[in-house]
Structure 1
Amino acid sequence: MKLLDIRKLCEQKMLELGADSFWYWDVGAFVFAGDETTVSVSGKQYVTSDRIINENDIVTIDLSPQNDNIWGDYARTIILENGVVVDKADVNNVEWRNGLQMEDGLHKELLEFANIETTFEELYYHINEIITENGFINLDFMGNLGHSIVKNKGDRVYIEKGNKQKLSDVDYFTFEPHISIPRSKYGYKKENIYYFEDSKLVEL
C-alpha cells in the first residue's frame, strides 16, 4: 500500500464520519513512513509521496478534520512488523518502542506539570528540557510543541518560546511533540487535544 492510499482512506473515513472539510491547507491526513517520519514541513509545502509501506515500517499519520469550522487534530505513530500493525507494547524494534514510550511519557508529563497558571512558554521550556535529558531532539520545523484550537489558522498561538499567555487563556490546545534521537532516520508523533475542566487539565 502507498502512502497516498492511506491518505485517501483517512480522508474518506473522516468525511464519512461527519467532517465537511480539512482545516490545515485542505489536507486531511499528513502521512509519512520510514526515514520520511523525521520530516517536518508546513502543510502549505506538503506533498504526499508515492512511497510504498514496507512489511517492517514506521508510519506517522496526522489528521486535521473540521465540521462547521470546528477543528479536530490528532496524530499517532503506527508500527508494522511482518506486515501487521502491532501494539506499542509488543513492538520488537527497540528504537521504535523507545520512541513510542517517550511520546507517552511526554503526554503524561504534560498532565502532571500543567496547571491554570502555566504559560505556553513555561511548558515549552519544561518539555524540551525533558526531551533533551532523555536523549531525544525536537524535530518541529518551528520548534514548537502544539497550538491553540481556533477557527482561523492565523489566530493560533503556540507552545513556543516567548508566548507568555497562560494555557488556560485558550479553550483548547494541542500537544504534539515530534521527536527523534540524534542521527536517527525515524521520528515519532503523538497528538491529543487538551483543555481545563474545574482547573484540571484533561484530554479531550
Structure 2
Amino acid sequence: MTRIFSLTCLYILFLLSSCSIINWEVEPDNLKITYQDEELSEIFHDHILRFIDEAEKRDMTFRSGKVNIKWGPELANHVNATTFSNGIIKVNPSSVKINHDHLSLQLISHELYHLLCQPPSAYDHRSRHLISGTPYVSSLMVASSKKGEFPTIDNVEMWEYYFDELFLHHGDYSFVYDYESNSK
C-alpha cells in the first residue's frame, strides 16, 4: 500500500514538473517557423510576420513556440488548410486562397489563431456575418469564405479591424456593430 502511494506521488510530481516545462506564454518574436519547402515560405512568410507583428501590437502571447507549415495533398477539396495540435499546419495545394495575397493572409491568420491562441479543446469558428454596407465577412475566423469576402491587403483600415476583432474582441459582435456605426 505504501509503495503504491509513493509511486502515485512520484507520478503526480512528474506530471506537475513536466507541465512547468511547457511555456504557455511564448512571446510572438520567439515563435519558430519552419516550412516544408520554399514555395510555402514564399506564399506565407510575410503574412506570418504580419500576424506576429499584429499580435505584438496587441500584447498577445502564444501557447506554443513552434509552427511547421506543410502541404496537405490528402486534404479534401473543400478544406483549404487544417491545424494540428502538434504545431503543424497543412495547406491544401489546390486551395484557391494560396493564389491571392489577401486570401493567403486570411488563411494563415485563421490557422495560426487556432494553433497559437486558442486552447486545443476550444477551437472555434465565428458566425458568418457581413459587415453592413460591405461584401466583407466580420471575422478572419469564419469557417469558410469566398474570394470577394475579404478586402485586398491595401485596405489598411479593414485589416486593422480584423486583427482587433481577432486578438482583442474574440468574436464579440457588439464590436462589429460599433465598427459599422463609426465607419458611416
Structure with a larger share of its residues in strand: 1
Structure with a larger share of its residues in helix: 2
Fold equivalence (TM over 0.5): no
TM bin, normalised by shorter chain, reads under 0.3
Greater relative contact order, per chain length (Cα 8 Å cut-off, separation 6+): 1
**Rg larger in structure:** 2
